[in-house]
Homo-oligomer: A and B are copies of this chain.
C-alpha cells in the first residue's frame, strides 16, 4: 500500500512537531501559536516557549501540511488535495471553521489577469469571509415555508 503524500511528509518530522500537527488537524477552527501553547496540552509534552511552537509551525508550513490564515494569525490543516497548487481559505464568521478549497482554476486566471502589471508572481493567497453552508440557517425554500 502506497503512502499518501501526507503520511510521507509526517514521517519526516519529530514527534513533537507531529503533535502540533495533530492538534491543528483535529481542531475544528484555526489555532494560533499561543492557543497551541496554552490551551492545548503542548506544555505537557515539553513545549515551554513560543519559539518552539513557531519552529514546528514553520516546518509544517514548508511541508504544506498546514496553512497560515493571515487575517486571523492562525493555522489550519491543509486538506492535502492540492499537491503544490494554491487554495482558497474560506473563513466562516459564524462558527469559525475554515475550509481549504483547492483553486487551480482561479490561480490560473489570476495569473493571466495580473501578469502584465506583476510579471514575477510567486505566491498567491486568497482568503474569504462569510458564512459557511452549515451555518446558513436553511435553504431559501425551506426558510420561506417555515416562516409562513
Contacts and interface: CB of A to CB of B under 8 A. Distances in A.
A88 B127 CA distance: 11
Contacts of A121: 90, 128-130
A128 B129 contact: no
A49 interface: no
A116 to B, nearest CB: 8
B136 A119 contact: yes
A132 B118 contact: yes
A110 B128 contact: yes
A81 B123 CA distance: 24
B130 A110 contact: no
A132 B122 CA distance: 11
A26 to B, nearest CB: 21
A8 interface: no
A90 B110 CA distance: 11
Chain A interface: which size bin? 35 or more
Interface of A: 70-71, 88, 90, 92-93, 99, 101, 103, 105-106, 109-110, 113-114, 116-133, 135-136
25 contacts: A70-B127, A88-B110, A88-B113, A90-B117, A90-B118, A92-B118, A99-B117, A101-B114, A103-B113, A106-B106, A106-B113, A109-B109, A110-B126, A117-B133, A118-B128, A119-B132, A119-B133, A120-B131, A121-B129, A121-B130, A124-B129, A125-B126, A125-B127, A125-B128, A126-B126
